[in-house]
Amino acid sequence: MRKSNGHSFTWKTFTESRLFLPLIALSLILLFDLIFIPGFFSIENRDGNLHGSLIDIFRNGSTVMLLAIGMTLVIATGGIDLSVGAVMAIAASVAGILMNPSALKNEVFFVTDPNYTFQPLWLVIISALFVAILCGLWNGVLVAYVRIQPMVATLILMIAGRGIAQLITNGLRVQITYKLFTFLGQGWIILPFSLYIVAIMFVFTWLMTRKTAIGMFIESVGINFRSSFYSGIDEKKIKLMVYAFCGFCAGIAGLVASSNIKTSDANNIGLTTELDAILAVVIGGTAMAGGRFSLLASMVGALVMQAITQSMYAIGVPAFALQAIKAVVVVFVILLYSEQFRSFIRKFSAPKTEAKP
Amino acid sequence: MMQQISKFLSKNRKLIPLWSTALLALAAYGIGAYFFVGMRNPQVFFNLFRNSSYLLISAIGMTLVILTGGIDLSVSGVVALTTVSTAVLLREGLNPWGVILLMLAMGMTMGGIMGSFITYLKVQPFIATLAGMWFARGMCFFISDNAVTIDNRIFQILGKTKILIPGLTEIAIKQGNPPPYVSIPVVVGFTLFVVTIFIAHYTRFGRTVYAIGGNEGRNEQSARLMGLPVNRTKMLVYTFNGFCSALAGLALSLFVFSGHGLYASGFELDVIASVVMGGTMLTGGSGYVFGTFFGVMVLAVTQALIQFIGSLSSWWTKIVIGVLTLIFIGVQTVLANRKVGRQAAQSPEVLRAVRRKRLWQGIGVGAVFVLVLASIIIISQFRAASIDGSTENTQCDVKPFRESEAAGLIQDGAVIVYHRTAGPQCVDELFAIYPDGRVTGTDGVNKVEKQVTPAEVEHLLTVISVDHKWFTADIYSTYLTPCRQCFAHNISISYDAQEKSATGVDGTTAMPPGYAFALAEIRPLLPVINPTP
């Protein structure tokens, strides 16, 4: 009896950990792949670079992972940012038009020279990210200072953002061939280059939130913004900063996405990725109401989403039908996290530990 | 004076957004009618209802959902799923009335399932309905990858029946215009509208809906404590919205006569925007079903205006709607904050000062937005005008169709003669397709020729005459002055000893669908006369 109690204690610390459910989900999917898709785990070495389905999960998941970093912080403050997909499109359009301004003259100009660019790369990246941060600040002002519901405030940019992106590119798709820029999404240094961007962003954010007080401020704002205000935290500035940071992450994701397809396509870049990002955070166990968050769990959540996509493609499910499967997964995850289900599990698994305290 | 205004504002807090939306819709239509002669045509006015009947139906359901403080993002998915399943079931030969009932049941089931997730499992409405949308869209592609056309007789009758407006018919005939009409979905939409107004304002269920919404979910708790049937009401509201979505899907399939999984993408945003513009608070608990109608009208007039202006691309609709939504949400927030200010226990002077400050802030923010919007439009107009002035003229004088020349070509043995004018480059091109596969084209200056196989020509003729029913009453001539990017077409076809020619103009909803399909079939065979550099 005692033995089993001790056992259930360690088991409990593990199950209560935030990483538990996402990791279980990821390993279930990978197990499924191991059994049903031959060669899913094979990694080949081409000119010193590693290629394979497993690497592709990371590479294709990099945009969602970048978005999930910003989204985790926003959701931790009790908000939500629906506009990240539109901000991705805006950043990509700014970058595209600065490298190939032919669309402004109302013509689609197919540049073939891989060294052609209108503006230097540093200016392109800085101005795209600057515009993305501006979009984030706009959301932040609406949420923190005008006090509009986060969902509604960001919905506005979600509706208007794609129009703005098309305004920038004059409604045309802009071809990008500049080699250095395409390296962002398509380059490899042993591993895909976009993974290094994700890693840098992750480490930076992790240090900012866990080694300084900012992380705690964000959590306290999420749990109760009024009491954090009375305990001396400038909750408005925290919210503003978090939304601006989310815009910044969306900007980087937009650059990676556009360099991946060598086009800045205002209509399709980042379409419905906001949903993937939110879902990644939800799978990571951050409550939609705000409060405690875990960046690492959100990363694993993003990988879960991408792994599902990748394995469904490998089985041969058509891209559009994939959404139905994603929806079923979402429902499953929602059920797992719902209070009703948890209390049911608690009742079922440990009736005695509850009586003790 | 100031006090009176502020008293008036406080009293009519809920009505101000509603009436300003109504005024906006009327003003926009008035301005459009002032500048564009075409917009004064009564049929154009009634087309506003015809084109937005499914938006109205869906927005009515969404209003109730938003009044309870929830949201339903699944409407676009359910609409698309309804069009696809309707089309496929009709193709399989099911009874059309049965299909309609089945679709409504399906919508209600979807809504009910999402409602139970939201009500009993306490899932956020946003997440649950998002999953619903993905599920519905995904299922569309499990059912059919391609667009499926609907050619069921009853559906054609339902969609094409013209309901004349009593009183206007005689006037129109006197003036020599065709009598204006609306379609059956419009009538269904208005019936639903009236019924929902009754339900929302004059029944116990409606009062409960209002009681649940608002105040960040605290009102829901108090409604529960008062003993109102909160769970049952929420379930019913989501089920009703599922019903409305399915009905909107049926209206859409009566409008386009086909079904596809990509239809109505982004539709949920339009629906939410029109509900918000109608004066319903997104936090719930405040608003009128009546206002939603004006929200839908603002959307419809915006789209019509942008179509009529012609030089603005369709994505301007998105920007305008986004900005309008923002303004309305801003106004609502300011007005709602006034209420909070009134309730706070402060001395009247301080209160008045705060109110005045808020009012001025609100006016200032509103003015800035209007200015920004106006300047964007003016700048873009100037830019467009300056570019056009140097390179090409803004509006071409449309050349008349050379009908005698076309008849001559038919006499010479051509089976299809296609003449198009206007368009971005102001063309005047005449193409002729001969049964031996020879395709000629001329614009009066240059002549080009192209050779296709005789089988292709034969296939083209069969498709146009059999599939698109060229020689039936389904194809008729329509003409409007073409917009700046639009072509005007005149197709003459001679096949199986039958001969018929019809005209049409791009960018109008008046063009019969078969005409557009025929154009799409002919276009790939044509040679290019003036290759663009």
Cβ(B415)–Cβ(B500) under 8 Å? no
Q: Which two structure tokens, joined as six digits, stand for B98?
A: 């049965």
- Using the Cβ of A106 and the Cβ atoms of chain B, whether some distance falls under 8 Å is answered with yes
State the pLDDT confidence band at A109, using cuts at 50, 70 and 90: low
Answer yes or no: is pLDDT of A6 > 50: no
Query: Exposed, middle or buried: residue A131 (CB in 10 Å: 0-12, 13-18, 19+)?
Result: buried
Provide the pLDDT for residue A9. 57
- Chain B residues lying within 8 Å of A147, measured CB to CB: 333, 337
Query: Are β-strands B416-422 and B427-433 bridged in parallel, bridged antiparallel, or unpaired?
Result: antiparallel
According to DSSP, the residues that pair with B182 across neighbouring strands are B163
Helix intervals (H) in chain A: 2-16, 20-36, 53-60, 62-76, 84-99, 121-140, 150-168, 179-186, 193-210, 214-223, 225-230, 235-261, 273-283, 295-315, 322-337, 339-349, 351-355
Cβ(B277)–Cβ(B325) under 8 Å? yes
Using the beta-carbon criterion (under 8 Å), do A334 and B319 form an inter-chain contact?
Answer: no
DSSP string, B278-321: TT--TTSS---HHHHHHHHHHHHHHHHHHHHH-SS-THHHHHHH
In angstroms, the CA B362 to CA B487 distance is: 45
- Chain A residues lying within 8 Å of B386, measured CB to CB: none
Query: Exposed, middle or buried: residue B341 (CB in 10 Å: 0-12, 13-18, 19+)?
Result: middle
Using the beta-carbon criterion (under 8 Å), do B261 and A158 form an inter-chain contact?
Answer: no
Q: Which two structure tokens, joined as six digits, stand for B374?
A: 């106006």
Using the beta-carbon criterion (under 8 Å), do B325 and A155 form an inter-chain contact?
Answer: yes
Cβ(A112)–Cβ(A277) under 8 Å? no
In angstroms, the CA A275 to CA B135 distance is: 13
CA B261 to chain centre: 17
Q: What is the mean pLDDT of chain A?
A: 84
Provide the pLDDT for residue A10. 66
In angstroms, the CA B409 to CA B428 distance is: 16
Mean pLDDT is highest, among A192-201, A267-276, B36-45, B389-398, for: A192-201
For the CA atoms of B352, B357, B360, B361, the dihedral, rounded to the nearest 10 degrees, stands at: -140
Interface test with A, best of B65, B142, B318, B323 (most A CBs within 10 A): B318
In angstroms, the CA A161 to CA A7 distance is: 53
Cβ(B76)–Cβ(B268) under 8 Å? yes
Residue of chain A nearest B361, judged by CA positions = A146
Instruction: Name the residue with higher pLDDT: A274 or B293.
Output: B293
Q: Quick one: average pLDDT of A45-62?
A: 85
Query: Are β-strands B163-164 and B487-495 bridged in parallel, bridged antiparallel, or unpaired?
Result: unpaired
Instruction: Name the residue with higher pLDDT: A36 or B352.
Output: A36
Residue of chain B nearest A152, judged by CA positions = B282
Q: What is the ipTM of this complex?
A: 0.76
Provide the pLDDT for residue B381. 53
Q: Where in chain B is the domain with CATH 3.30.1560.10?
A: 403-525
State the pLDDT confidence band at A128, using cuts at 50, 70 and 90: very high
Using the beta-carbon criterion (under 8 Å), do B283 and A149 form an inter-chain contact?
Answer: yes
CATH code for residues B403-525: 3.30.1560.10
Query: Are β-strands A174-175 and A263-264 bridged in parallel, bridged antiparallel, or unpaired?
Result: antiparallel
Provide the pLDDT for residue B98. 95
The angle at the Cα of B222, spanning B219 to B226, to the nearest 5 degrees, equals 135
Using the beta-carbon criterion (under 8 Å), do B141 and A321 form an inter-chain contact?
Answer: yes
Give, for all 533 residues of chain B, the pLDDT tens digit: 777 777 777 667 777 778 888 888 888 888 888 888 777 878 888 888 988 999 999 999 999 999 998 989 899 999 999 999 999 999 998 999 999 999 999 999 999 999 999 998 888 888 888 889 889 988 998 888 888 889 888 998 998 888 888 777 788 788 777 788 888 999 999 999 999 999 999 999 999 999 998 777 788 888 999 999 999 999 999 999 999 999 999 999 998 888 888 888 778 888 998 998 888 888 888 888 989 999 999 999 988 888 787 666 667 777 888 888 888 877 777 777 665 544 445 566 777 777 777 777 777 777 777 777 776 666 655 554 444 443 344 456 667 777 777 777 887 778 888 888 877 677 778 888 888 888 888 877 777 777 777 778 888 888 887 777 787 777 777 776 666 667 788 888 887 777 788 888 776 556 777 787 788 778 777 877 765 54
CA distances from B104 to A302, B50, B99, B264 (A): 36, 21, 9, 18
Q: B43: distance to nearest CA of chain A, Å? A: 29
Q: Quick one: average pLDDT of A18-43?
A: 82
Query: Exposed, middle or buried: residue B520 (CB in 10 Å: 0-12, 13-18, 19+)?
Result: exposed
Helix-, strand-, coil-residue percentages of chain B, each rounded to 5: 65, 10, 25
Residue of chain B nearest A149, judged by CA positions = B283
Residue among A152, A167, A324 minimizing CB distance to B142: A324
Using the beta-carbon criterion (under 8 Å), do A320 and B131 form an inter-chain contact?
Answer: no
Helix intervals (H) in A17-149: 20-36, 53-60, 62-76, 84-99, 121-140
Q: Which of B178, B190, B187 is nearest to B41 (CA)?
A: B178
State the pLDDT confidence band at A251, using cuts at 50, 70 and 90: very high
Within 10 Å of residue B210's Cβ, how many Cβ atoms?
19
State residue A338 phi and psi, 5-degree precision: -70, 150
For the CA atoms of A95, A101, A105, A111, the dihedral, rounded to the nearest 10 degrees, stands at: -120
Instruction: Name the residue with higher pLDDT: A192 or B266.
Output: A192
Provide the pLDDT for residue A1. 41
Q: A191: distance to nearest CA of chain B, Å? A: 32
Instruction: Name the residue with higher pLDDT: A46 or A86.
Output: A86
| Secondary structure class of B70 (helix, strand, coil) | coil
- Using the Cβ of A321 and the Cβ atoms of chain B, whether some distance falls under 8 Å is answered with yes
Q: Quick one: average pLDDT of A236-254?
A: 95
Provide the pLDDT for residue B210. 92
DSSP string, A142-170: IIIIS---HHHHHHHHHHHHHHHHHHHTT
Q: Which two structure tokens, joined as six digits, stand for A168?
A: 């920038």
Interface test with B, best of A90, A147, A159 (most B CBs within 10 A): A159
Q: Which residues contact A219 (CB under 8 A, 6 or more apart)?
A: A76, A291, A292, A293
Q: Which residues contact B383 (CB under 8 A, 6 or more apart)?
A: none
Cβ(B295)–Cβ(B59) under 8 Å? yes
pTM: 0.71
B117-120 contact pairs (CB < 8 A, 24+) = B117/A331, B117/A334, B118/B70, B118/B234, B118/B238, B119/B231, B119/B234, B119/B235, B119/B238, B120/A340, B120/B231
Instruction: Name the residue with higher pLDDT: B251 or A109.
Output: B251
Residue among B128, B130, B329 minimizing CB distance to A275: B130
Instruction: Name the residue with higher pLDDT: B332 or A28.
Output: A28
State the pLDDT confidence band at A108, using cuts at 50, 70 and 90: low
According to DSSP, the residues that pair with B421 across neighbouring strands are B428, B488
In angstroms, the CA A30 to CA A83 distance is: 31
Residue among B323, B330, B387 minimizing CB distance to A160: B323
- Chain B residues lying within 8 Å of A330, measured CB to CB: 127, 130-131, 134
Residue of chain A nearest B325, judged by CA positions = A156
Core vs surface per residue B173-182: b (16+ CB within 10 A) or e: eeeeeeebbb
Classify A52 in phi/psi space as left (phi over 0), alpha (psi -120 to 50) or beta.
left
- The one-letter code for the residue type at B387 is I
Using the beta-carbon criterion (under 8 Å), do B141 and A151 form an inter-chain contact?
Answer: no
Helix intervals (H) in B92-149: 96-120, 125-143
Cβ(A275)–Cβ(A83) under 8 Å? no
CA B489 to chain centre: 25
CA distances from B465 to A72, B410, B419 (A): 58, 17, 18
State residue A49 phi and psi, 5-degree precision: -100, 145
Provide the pLDDT for residue A140. 95
CA torsion through residues B521, B524, B525, B527, sign: positive
Place of tokens 């205000």: A229
Using the beta-carbon criterion (under 8 Å), do A159 and B273 form an inter-chain contact?
Answer: yes
Q: How many residues does chain A have?
A: 357
- Chain A residues lying within 8 Å of B339, measured CB to CB: none
Answer yes or no: is pLDDT of A113 > 90: no
Q: Which residues contact B239 (CB under 8 A, 6 or more apart)?
A: B108, B111, B112, B115
